[in-house]
Structure 1
Amino acid sequence: MIRRHGLARITAAAVAALMAAAPLPADPAQRIVSVGGSVTEIVYALGQQDRLVARDTTSNHPPEALALPDIGYVRRLSAEGVLSVNPDLILAEDGAGPPEVLELLNETQIPVATVPMGFDRAAVLAKITAVADALGVPEDGAKLAGEVAAAIDTAVAETDLGGKKVLFVLALQGGRVLAGGENTAADGILTLTGAENAVDGFAGYKLLTDEAILTAAPDVILMMDASGTRHISDKDLFAIPAIAATPAARSGAILRMDGMLLLGFSVRTGQAITELSEKLDRIGS
C-alpha cells in the first residue's frame, strides 16, 4: 500500500516502478499536483482546476478542492504519495518538502515549478504570475493579478485602525506562547491592515517569555480558527498568567479567523484585509 503522509524512504527501483506506470508527460501539463493552499487557490481562480489530480493538506479552499486526493502536508510530503497520481507537473510553494523528497522527485524528471513565497502585495502578484506562467496561461495571470491588486489596494485604503497592537498566537507549547514576529504571514497581514504587531525584534515564530508578553501588552490577541488538537480555547489561553494580565485578555479581545484566508497571501488577500480590519475595529469599539 502506498503511504500518503510522512517522509517516505523509497529506493530508486521503487521510483522507477512507479514511473513506469505513469503516462507520457502531456504538453501542456494535464496532470498537476498542487502543493500549498495559496497555489491551489490561484489555480482555481485561473479556471485551470480541471488539470489538478491531487493537492496537499493545506489546500482547503475552494471547498471543491477537498474532493481531490490529499498527498500530505506541504512540508511533510512523501515521494510515493506524489508519484502515485502520475503527475506531469508539480506546482509547489517555496519551502515545500522535506528536501529529500523534492530531490527524489527531481530525479524522476517530472517538472517541479517553485512558486515564490512572501507576505505583501508584491508577493501575492508574483505568486499569481508564477502559477500562470507554469500553467501556460500568462494572459489570464496578468488579468487575475490586476484584479487582485485592485482588491488589495481598495481594502488597504479603507482600513483605519490607529496602530492597534495585535499579538498573533500560532500555538501553545508547554504552557508558553508561540507568537509571530517579523517576516511572517501574520506580521504581513497586520501591516496591510494598518495594525501594529505587538512583538518585534525577532523574525519568524518564537516562544515568548512572560516578560515579553507583558511588555508587548497587546490590545487584541489573534489566532487561527483551528479545530481538533490545534484549537486554542480561551480557557487554555487565559491559563497563562502573563496572557491573563494583558489588556486583550482583560477586555476579552480575542479574535479567530480561518487560517488560509488570514495567512495564505493568495487571491483572497483583499478579503482577508477587509475582514480582519472590520473585526479589529468592532472589537475595540
Structure 2
Amino acid sequence: MRPALSRLWAARVARFAPVALAVLMASSLQAQEPQRIVSIGGSVTEIVYALGEQDRLVARDTTSNFPEEVSQLPDIGYIRRLSPEGVLSMNPSLILTEEGAGPPEAVELLEAASIEFAEIPAGYDREAVLTKIRRVAEVLSVPEKGEALAAEVAADLDDAAEVAAKEAGAAPRRVLFVLSMQGGRIMAGGTDTAAEGVIRLAGGVNAVTGFEGYKPLSDEAIIAAAPDVILMMARGGEMGVSDEDLFAQPAILSTPAGETRSVLRMDGMKMLGFGPRTAEAVVELAHALAGD
C-alpha cells in the first residue's frame, strides 16, 4: 500500500415561527460571516478536513465523527432526522450536506432559508469518491485543492484495488452485511448500497442481491444467501450486536459463516462513508476476507 494512505490524515489536519426567526438571524449574519459552514454527513466533513478547510466549520451532524477533533464542534443531530431550527441556530452561510439528508420537510425549509444549500451526490464506487471530493472543493471555492486531493485518493484507491485483486484470488468470498438485528430480525444490505460497494471494491461478493437498500431478511433468505462471512459495523450500545446474539440465530448458524463463526467488524463511517478513507477500508476488508 502506498505511504500516502498513512500520510493522508497526518498531513491535514406548527414550529414555523422559530424557523422564521432563525432564518432572519442567519440571513442577517450571512454577509458578516461568509465562512460559517454547517457540514452534514460524515464523508463530506472528512473531505472538508482533508482539504484543510476545517476552520470554516461551525457545526456538524452526528455521523461526522472523524477526525477526532470534529467532536469539538456543536452537533446539530442525525443526518436523516434534522431539525431546521437546530441547523439555522448556527447562523450558517453555507449548509453542506450529503445526499439523503432528511426528513424531506426539514430539507425543504433549509433550502428555502435564503442560505446557500449544497447537496453532494452519493455513490458507491471509485468515481463516486472522486466526484464527492471535487464537488465539495468546488462549493468551497478551492478547486485546486480538490484536484490535488482527488489525485492522491485516486492513486490510493488504485493501490487498494490491486491489493483486493491479489487477496481475493479465484474464489471471492460471499459476504452478508448485517446493519442491525432487532427483535431477532436481520437487517441486511442489498444492492445499490454502500455496503455492497465496499464489499465489491474489496474483492468480495454481496451475498444478497434480491432487493435494493437495507431490508429485513427472512430465515429462508439468510440460508439461501449462504454467506461465507458476516460483515458488521463495530459499535456498542443499543445498536450493537454481540457474536453471541448473532450466532444464536438458527438461520445464521445454518450458513457457512455460522458454521465457522466468521464475523468481521469495521469502523462504520470508514467502511460505508465513501470518502477520503475508502482506500483504507478496502485494504482492511480485503485482508480480513483473506484471513490475513
TM-score range (shorter-chain normalised) is over 0.9
Q: 1:44 aligns with which of 38, 42, 49?
A: 49
How big is each residue's C-alpha offset from its partner over 1:254-282, in whole Å with a ceiling of 9 and x where there is no partner?
11000001100000011000011111112
Determine helix, strand or coil for the equivalent of 2:156.
Answer: helix
1:244 corresponds to which letter in structure 2? L
Task: Please tell me whether residue 59 in structure 1 is matched to residue 68 in structure 2.
Answer: no
Q: Name the structure 1 match of 2:197.
A: 188
Task: Please tell me whether residue 155 in structure 1 is matched to residue 160 in structure 2.
Answer: yes
How big is each residue's C-alpha offset from its partner over 1:50-103, in whole Å with a ceiling of 9 and x where there is no partner?
000000000000001111000000010001110111000000111101111111
Q: Name the structure 2 match of 1:218.
A: 227
Gaps of 5+ in 1: 1-8
Does the aligned pair in 2 maintain the 1:32–1:87 contact within 8 Å? yes
How big is each residue's C-alpha offset from its partner over 1:177-223, in whole Å with a ceiling of 9 and x where there is no partner?
11111100000001101101111121111211111111111111000
Task: Please tell me whether residue 32 in structure 1 is matched to residue 41 in structure 2.
Answer: no
Q: 1:71 aligns with which of 67, 76, 94?
A: 76
State how 1:224-243 maps to structure 2 within 5 Å. 224-243=233-252
Cα separation, 2, equivalents of 1:226 and 1:272: 16
Gaps of 5+ in 2: 1-13
Determine helix, strand or coil for the equivalent of 1:166.
Answer: strand
1:279 corresponds to which letter in structure 2? A
Q: 1:19 aligns with which of 13, 17, 23?
A: 23
Cα separation, 2, equivalents of 1:182 and 1:106: 30
Deviation at 1:18, TM superposition (A): 2.2
Q: Judging changes above 3 Å, is the alpha-carbon distance between structure 1 residues 104 and 71 closer, same or farther for their aligned structure 2 residues?
A: same
2:278 corresponds to which letter in structure 1? T
How big is each residue's C-alpha offset from its partner over 1:117-163, in whole Å with a ceiling of 9 and x where there is no partner?
01001110111111101100011001101111110110011122131
Q: Name the structure 1 match of 2:286.
A: 277
Cα separation, 2, equivalents of 1:16 and 1:208: 43
The aligned length equals 274
Cα separation, 1, equivalents of 2:18 and 2:61: 22
103-112 or 220-229: bigger deviation: 103-112
Cα separation, 2, equivalents of 1:218 and 1:281: 14
Does the aligned pair in 2 maintain the 1:222–1:254 contact within 8 Å? yes
Q: Judging changes above 3 Å, is the alpha-carbon distance between structure 1 residues 28 and 118 closer, same or farther for their aligned structure 2 residues?
A: farther
Q: Name the structure 2 match of 1:113.
A: 118
How big is each residue's C-alpha offset from its partner over 1:10-69, in whole Å with a ceiling of 9 and x where there is no partner?
21x323322343453249930000000000000000000000000000000000111100
Q: 2:271 aligns with which of 241, 262, 277?
A: 262
1:175 corresponds to which letter in structure 2? G
CA RMSD of superposed structures (Å): 1.4
State how 1:169-180 maps to structure 2 within 5 Å. 169-180=178-189
TM-score, with structure 2 as normaliser:
0.91
Determine helix, strand or coil for the equivalent of 1:215.
Answer: helix
Determine helix, strand or coil for the equivalent of 1:147.
Answer: helix
The sequence identity of aligned pairs, in percent, is 59
Does the aligned pair in 2 maintain the 1:218–1:246 contact within 8 Å? yes
Task: Please tell me whether residue 199 in structure 1 is matched to residue 208 in structure 2.
Answer: yes
Cα separation, 2, equivalents of 1:15 and 1:202: 38
Q: Name the structure 2 match of 1:6.
A: none
1:268 corresponds to which letter in structure 2? R
TM-score, with structure 1 as normaliser:
0.93
Does the aligned pair in 2 maintain the 1:165–1:218 contact within 8 Å? yes
Q: Name the structure 1 match of 2:258.
A: 249
